[in-house]
């Protein structure tokens, strides 16, 4: 029998038919300055800007980023690409409320300081040491380097708003946990 | 020329070679009671439990959920499946710090009340009206129904910890934004 789910008393043994076609599309965080965040995510993490949606009458813009390969059939037409963006998975949505970038005292809450809730996003990379050098080349702020702390091989860095980003090399984590 | 990225002065025109193979693996939120959250995400949203990692010496467990199709080659071997889990995209990680489920006054911060930061996760669904009926069938708490407010066709519900979940039908959103 092929793998379906790990067993847990609370987990439905099968996905209900009513959830067929459900897809985890995106994760949204608010950012103070989209120019800073877009530079960071497109350069340091290689994400592409799939779509920008502006709502000037409500003073905010939304930026949708993801990793796409050059041979992926993303529509050139903007309306079609909006629909396409919402049908992808692994999308990061950045919300910019106009004006925050001009307030030197403005900062968002990272979810790891109190009050806690949200923790982090995580990127898988092919080579953790090469990734660490790349982060150093880009003056990224480290919370934990690969060789520090209890979880060897796992990196934590901060994004420009202070949100935590975990970075892992998938193959190296096979023995993680009990 | 095929689509690569939307233009923005801050966005790198191409993904740097050093980011090749980078993948947005997961989003982590802390949950008060994993039995409640696992029931919710596996039933209401049809996610499967890819992997549980227990760290009893540090009093926490991690639960990794995603949508997988039955024909997807997920390894049966647990160590291999851990590595496989970290190589996927669209994964939701739930962190359970032991004991929170027994404290009636304990609650996590949703990121939308002050202090703000994290906003929500979003699921794309094939049929927004069918999804709304399914949420009603499961007594899910609505923040906004599809026909309420300014963004017609977009649903917001709460997960058991109060985290916001957006639900959209991708094709219906083509005309969103300016």
Alpha-carbon gap, residue B41 to B43, rounded angstroms: 6
| H or E segment to which residue A78 belongs | helix A78-85
Can you tell me the mean pLDDT for B151-169?
A: 96
- Report DSSP state, residue B141: P
Percent above pLDDT 90 for chain A:
88
Q: Helix count (H) and strand count (E) of chain A? A: 3, 8
User: What structural domains and CATH numbers belong to chain A?
Assistant: 24-101 (3.10.180.10), 118-178 (3.10.180.10)
Parallel, antiparallel or unpaired: strands A118-124 and A91-97: unpaired
Which residue is closest to B154 within chain A, CA to CA? A86
R_g (Cα) of chain B, nearest Å: 19
Is A166 a catalytic site residue?
yes
- What is the percentage of chain B residues whose pLDDT exceeds 90? 88
Q: Do B111 and A109 touch (CB under 8 A)?
A: yes
Structure tokens at B55: 């760290």
Average pLDDT (B12-27) is 97
Taking contacts as CB-CB distances below 8 angstroms, the residues of chain A near B56 are 178
Q: Do A11 and B115 touch (CB under 8 A)?
A: no
Helix (H) or strand (E) holding A37: helix A34-43
Interface test with A, best of B87, B118, B151 (most A CBs within 10 A): B118
Confidence of residue B87 (pLDDT cuts 50, 70, 90): very high
Partners of B165 in beta bridges: B121, B157
Is the pLDDT at A107 greater than 90, yes or no?
A: yes
Of the candidates A5, A54, A163, which has its C-beta nearest B48's C-beta?
A5
Identify whether the C-beta of residue B90 lies closer than 8 Å to the C-beta of residue A124.
no
User: A114 among the known binding-site residues?
Assistant: no
To the nearest whole number, what is the mean pLDDT of chain A? 95
DSSP, res B162: -
User: Where is average pLDDT lowest: A22-31, A65-74, B27-36?
Assistant: A65-74
A96 is in an annotated binding site: no
Question: Nearest Cβ partner of A48 from B15, B82, B134?
Answer: B15
pLDDT of residue B139: 98
**Residue A7: pLDDT band with limits 50, 70, 90:** very high
Q: What number is the average pLDDT over the span B69-89?
A: 90
Alpha carbon of A63: minimum distance to chain B alpha carbons (Å): 10
**Does pLDDT of A142 surpass 90?**
yes
Q: Average pLDDT of chain B?
A: 95
Catalytic residue chosen out of the listed positions A57, A76, A132, A166:
A166
Helix (H) or strand (E) holding B84: helix B78-85
Helix (H, G, I), strand (E, B) or coil at B29: strand
ipTM: 0.97
Give the separation between CA B35 and CA A31, rounded to whole angstroms: 32
Residue A109 has, within 13 A of its CA and on its CB side, a CA count of 19
How many angstroms separate the Cα of A172 from the Cα of each of A151, A169, A176, B28? 11, 6, 9, 20
User: Is B65 in contact with B49 (CB distance < 8 Å)?
Assistant: yes
pTM: 0.97
Mode of pairing for the β-strands spanning B164-168 and B118-124 = parallel
Interface of B with A in 5-44 (CB under 8 A): 5-6, 8-12, 15-16, 18-30, 34-36, 38-39, 42-44
Task: Work out the average pLDDT over B104-133.
Answer: 98
CA angle at A112 for the pair A148 and B155, rounded to the nearest 5°: 130
Q: How far is A88 from chain B (nearest CA, A)?
A: 8
For residue B114, give both structure tokens: 């002050």
Task: Give the pLDDT score at B175.
Answer: 82
> What residue of B is the nearest CA neighbor of A128?
B22
Structure confidence at residue A177 (pLDDT): 78
Among candidate residues A51, A41, A26, A61, the one with its CA nearest the CA of residue B119: A26
The tokens 């996590």 sit on which residue?
B108
Instruction: Work out the burial of residue B146: count CB atoms within 10 Å of its CB; fewer than 13 is exposed, 13-18 middle, 19 or more buried.
Output: buried
A 41-100 residues with CB below 8 A of B? 42-56, 58, 62-63, 66-67, 70-71, 73-76, 79-87, 89-93, 95
Containing A42, the helix (H) or strand (E) segment is helix A34-43
Distances (CA, A) of B26 to A9, A79, A156: 23, 28, 14
The torsion angles phi and psi of B4, rounded to 5 degrees, stand at: -120, -50
Residue A30 has pLDDT above 80, yes or no: yes
Element (H, E) at A134: helix A128-137
Strand A60-66 relative to strand B23-30, pairing:
unpaired
φ, ψ of residue A94 in degrees (nearest 5): -105, 125
């Amino acid at each position: 029998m092929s793998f379906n789910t790990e067993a847990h008393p609370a987990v439905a043994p099968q996905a209900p038919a009513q959830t067929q076609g459900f897809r985890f599309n995106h994760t949204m965080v608010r950012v103070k300055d989209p120019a800073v965040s877009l530079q960071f995510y497109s350069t340091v993490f290689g994400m592409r800007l799939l779509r920008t949606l502006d709502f000037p009458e409500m003073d905010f813009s939304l930026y949708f980023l993801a990793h796409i390969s050059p041979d992926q059939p993303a529509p050139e037409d903007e309306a079609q690409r909006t629909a396409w963006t919402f049908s992808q998975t692994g999308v990061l949505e950045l919300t910019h409320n106009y004006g925050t970038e001009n307030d030197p005292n403005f900062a968002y809450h990272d979810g790891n300081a109190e009050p806690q809730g949200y923790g982090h996003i995580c990127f898988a990379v092919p080579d953790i040491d090469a990734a660490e050098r790349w982060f150093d080349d880009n003056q990224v702020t480290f919370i934990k380097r690969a060789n520090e702390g209890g979880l060897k091989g796992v990196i934590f860095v901060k994004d420009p708003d202070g949100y935590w980003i975990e970075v892992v090399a998938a193959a190296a984590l096979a023995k993680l946990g009990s």
